[in-house]
Each structure stands twice: as structure tokens, then as C-alpha cells.
């Protein structure tokens, strides 16, 4: 009798734990599905801004019909080398080498991409003392 | 102890552990607003004054930096130990909407101050945060009194500001001259946000070059060289 009770208890506990883990996964945003499914719902990126961020091209959550020549991010303070832009789409990195403008106020990268999808831009902006700070944004490319 | 009882005991311990973990998880998501501890709202980066910083004179404003857009509805309050309010004027959102700022009322006495802020995001969510700072005017003895001059020059030499700590009168024009071979910067707090008093922000000042700005409002202005932070720092107090 005792062993039956404890078995029942373990079964209940397992059910509770499974229920809890389901609840936790249900609270995460369903962003991943949008890349694999050809859905018309656009993934909304947060525009996480590093210090001195001014603007970006494309702008955050832009919807484009052709591949942009490059991704450019503008700042209001002197960037130094080590600053970097990384662009990914459908799990692949598609950014080239990051170039810092001569006036040190912007950096850009070319894109080696030709596919529709949600493009995530992560960047690291580095300052004259060598410290670096991160930011991110994204855009949607819908090729015709 | 019989085996079923042992199993029951082990199960009870596991359940308690899970409950405890869930509880601490919830605590970390919703910071407890304990007196004197820093509470960071979501997307908070840093502030001027910084948490636990001691000023020799009043800050001219309270600046809180975030890494995501904040929107109107955000608030800043500065309370002294008697819970008197020292923040005044409009709550400002500056830069690319990541800087929350509010002026302070003139005449802040020595003592401890608690800053409480509410940062509202574009998605409608608002988060509260707090930090504290203090004012201790005995630290004024560390400053060189240059009041009564309409123009003051600070040298950047041997990777230091000379003089590093000065008191000036309102409306004084301060000029920095770089006497080193390396380039230097003059940038307002914090590093690297530079948002407290943006008029005091230079780009690179090359050897022999100068940078200048005028200080009108009474209060304390801490600054630094962005290439040689945190060794190369300075402070200006504007006082009548």
C-alpha cells in the first residue's frame, strides 16, 4: 500500500513539473517560428542602443523589398577599431568586414545575402579608451 | 525508516527546493525596493550622480541612461532624509530617447538623497528604479577657488587635468588646452554616455588644440578624458 502511494505521489510530482515547464516555455515570445515558416507576420525587433547611437540604415523594423547595399550605424562620438557589425538571417552570418568612416562617426558593412527573412543586426561600438558596448536592431527583407 | 517513507521525504525535499527556486526567481524579476539599495529598472544603464557617489556640491540635474527608448510618463524624484522633494521642472527625454533627465532645486544642503525614477517604454510597460547619492561640502577643500574670473584655462598635461578640481563663478568660460603629444577628450559624466551636461563634450583634442565651454548653472560638473578614463578625471563646481 505504502509503495503504491509513493508511486502515485511521484507520478503527480512529474505531472506538476511537466506542467511548470510548459508554462515557462509558453511565456517566451514565438519569434523563432517566424523565420522558418513563410509567415506574413513581421518579427518586431527591439532597438537596443549603445551609448552615442544616433541612427541606422536600414532603420529598425524596416520592411525592404531588395537587399540593402550595406548596413550603416551612425554615432555622435569617436569610434575606434574593434567596433563591429554582425548581421544574421535564418541562422547564417551574412555581414562582411566592418568599415569605420574617416570621421569616426559611423560604421558599415556589406551584406552577402539574397534571401527573404528577418535580419538581425548586432553591433559592438568601441571608444577611445578601448571599452566597448553593444546594441542591436533588425529589419525584414521580402524579395519580390 | 521504511523505503516508502524515504521516498516521500525525498519528494517533499524536491518540492520545497523547486518552490524556493521559483520564489527567488520571482524576486530577481521584481526587485525589492529596500531603502538604500540600488534598484535598476529594465534597460537601465547608468546615472549621474552614480549610485553611492558623494558630491561636494549639488548636481545640476539627475540623469538616468537607458539602452532602449523611453517615453513620456517617465518620472524622476529626489528626496532628502526628511523626504523633501529636490527635483523640479519638466521631466526631459533627451538624445535618441534614451536619456531621462530632471533638474534639481537650488540650495540642496549636505546630506543623503534618494533618487526614485519610473521609466516607461514604448510598449507601455513602466519600471521603477532607485539609487542614492550624498552631498558633503567638506570636500570643497579639495578644490582650487578660481571664482571672480571670467575666463579660466585648464591644462591637459602628463595625462592629468591641471587643475583637476576648481570652483568658478557662474558664466565663466573654461578653456582646456592639450599640452601632451597624445590626443585627449573633455567629456561630461558618465563614461561613456556623456549625457549630464552635453555642452561639455569634445571630440578628440589633438596636441596643441583647445576646447571651451561656458558654465552658467550653479552646481557640480564631473568630467573625464574618454581616452584615459578613469585615471584622467576632473571636476568643476560653479558657485556664487
Which pLDDT band, with edges at 50, 70 and 90, does A113 fall under?
confident
Chain A: residue nearest B185 by CA?
A128
C-alpha cell at A46: 527591439
Q: What is the pLDDT of residue A12?
A: 54
CB-based contact (8 Å) between B82 and chain A?
Answer: no
Nearest-Cα distance to chain A for B21, in Å, is: 12
CB-based contact (8 Å) between B239 and chain A?
Answer: no
Mutate to test the interface with A, among B9, B20, B26, B67 (most CBs of A within 10 A): B67
Q: The whole model's pTM is what? A: 0.80
CB B201 within 8 A of CB B223: no
CB-based contact (8 Å) between A44 and chain B?
Answer: no
Q: What is the pLDDT of residue A43?
A: 80
Q: What is the pLDDT of residue B15?
A: 56
Q: What is the pLDDT of residue A2?
A: 53
The Cα angle at residue A109 between residues A106 and A111, in degrees rounded to 5:
150
- For residue B31, the 8-state DSSP code is -
Edge-to-edge strand list for the sheet holding B111-120:
B53-55, B126-135, B111-120, B75-80
> Could you tell me what percent of chain B has a pLDDT over 70?
85
Q: What is the pLDDT of residues B30-46, one digit of tens each?
A: 344 456 789 999 999 99
- Give the CA-trace dihedral at A76, B224, B116, B199, to 10 degrees: -50
In CATH, the number for domain A53-141 is 2.60.40.1220
CB-based contact (8 Å) between A78 and chain B?
Answer: yes
For chain A, what are the domain ranges? 53-141
Element (H, E) at B80: strand B75-80
Residues 6+ apart with CB under 8 A from B46: B65, B190, B193
Half-sphere exposure of B70 (CA within 13 A, CB side): 30
Q: How far is Cα A72 from Cα B154, in angstroms, rounded to an integer?
A: 37
Which pLDDT band, with edges at 50, 70 and 90, does A114 fall under?
confident
Q: What is the pLDDT of residue A110?
A: 96
**Phi, psi (5° rounding) for residue B138?**
-65, -20
Q: What ipTM was assigned to the predicted interfaces of this complex?
A: 0.81
Q: What is the mean pLDDT of residues A35-56?
A: 79
Of B7, B68, B226, the CB nearest to A47: B68
Q: What is the mean pLDDT of residues B135-144?
A: 97
What are the b/e assignments for B54-81, b being 16+ CB within 10 Å?
ebbbbbbbbbbbbbbbbeeebebbbbbe
User: In this complex, do B15 and A13 lie within 8 Å of one another by their Cβ atoms?
Assistant: yes
Question: Which residues of chain B are within 8 Å of residue A54 when distances are taken between CB atoms?
Answer: 96
Chain A: residue nearest B202 by CA?
A77
User: Taking all residues of chain A, what is their mean pLDDT, rounded to a whole number?
Assistant: 81
Which pLDDT band, with edges at 50, 70 and 90, does B77 fall under?
very high
Q: What is the pLDDT of residue A123?
A: 98
CA-closest candidate to residue A73, choices A111, A48, A47, A105: A105
Mutate to test the interface with A, among B18, B99, B192, B202 (most CBs of A within 10 A): B192
CB B103 within 8 A of CB B87: yes
Of B2, B183, B192, the CB nearest to A2: B2
**Phi, psi (5° rounding) for residue B70?**
-115, 160
**Phi, psi (5° rounding) for residue A5?**
-60, -45
Query: Is A136's pLDDT higher than 60?
Result: yes
Amino acid at each position: 500500500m505504502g509503495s503504491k502511494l509513493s508511486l502515485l505521489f511521484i507520478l503527480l510530482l512529474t505531472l506538476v513539473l511537466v506542467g511548470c515547464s510548459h508554462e515557462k516555455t509558453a511565456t517566451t515570445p514565438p519569434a523563432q517560428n517566424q523565420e522558418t515558416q513563410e509567415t506574413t507576420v513581421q518579427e518586431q525587433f527591439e532597438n537596443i542602443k549603445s551609448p552615442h547611437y544616433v541612427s541606422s540604415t536600414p532603420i529598425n523594423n524596416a520592411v525592404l523589398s531588395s537587399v540593402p547595399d550595406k548596413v550603416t550605424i551612425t554615432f555622435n562620438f569617436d569610434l575606434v577599431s574593434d567596433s563591429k557589425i554582425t548581421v544574421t538571417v535564418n541562422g547564417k552570418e551574412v555581414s562582411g568586414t566592418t568599415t569605420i568612416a574617416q570621421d569616426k562617426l559611423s560604421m558599415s558593412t556589406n551584406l552577402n545575402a539574397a534571401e527573404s527573412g528577418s535580419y538581425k543586426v548586432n553591433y559592438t561600438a568601441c571608444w577611445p579608451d578601448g571599452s566597448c558596448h553593444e546594441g542591436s536592431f533588425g529589419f525584414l527583407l521580402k524579395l519580390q | 525508516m521504511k523505503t516508502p517513507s524515504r521516498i516521500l521525504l525525498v519528494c517533499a525535499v524536491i518540492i520545497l527546493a523547486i518552490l524556493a527556486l521559483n520564489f527567488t526567481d520571482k524576486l530577481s524579476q521584481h526587485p525589492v525596493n529596500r531603502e538604500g539599495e540600488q534598484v535598476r529598472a529594465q534597460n537601465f544603464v547608468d546615472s549621474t550622480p552614480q549610485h553611492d557617489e558623494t558630491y561636494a556640491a549639488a548636481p545640476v540635474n539627475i540623469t538616468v541612461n537607458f539602452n532602449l527608448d523611453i517615453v513620456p510618463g517617465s518620472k524622476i524624484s529626489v528626496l532628502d532624509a526628511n523626504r523633501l522633494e529636490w527635483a523640479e521642472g519638466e521631466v526631459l527625454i533627451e538624445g535618441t530617447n534614451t536619456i531621462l533627465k530632471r533638474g534639481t532645486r537650488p540650495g540642496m544642503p549636505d546630506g543623503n538623497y534618494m533618487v526614485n525614477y519610473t521609466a516607461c517604454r514604448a510598449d507601455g510597460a513602466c519600471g521603477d528604479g532607485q539609487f542614492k547619492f550624498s552631498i558633503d561640502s567638506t570636500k570643497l577643500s579639495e578644490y582650487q577657488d578660481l571664482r571672480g574670473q571670467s575666463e579660466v584655462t585648464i591644462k591637459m598635461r602628463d595625462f592629468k587635468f591641471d587643475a583637476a578640481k576648481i570652483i568658478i563663478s557662474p558664466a565663466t568660460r573654461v578653456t582646456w588646452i592639450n599640452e601632451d603629444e597624445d590626443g585627449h577628450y573633455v567629456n561630461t559624466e558618465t563614461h561613456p554616455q556623456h549625457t549630464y551636461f552635453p555642452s561639455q563634450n569634445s571630440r578628440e583634442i589633438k596636441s596643441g588644440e583647445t576646447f571651451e565651454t561656458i558654465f552658467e548653472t550653479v552646481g557640480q560638473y564631473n568630467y573625464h578624458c574618454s581616452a584615459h578614463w578613469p585615471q584622467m578625471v576632473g571636476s568643476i563646481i560653479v558657485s556664487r
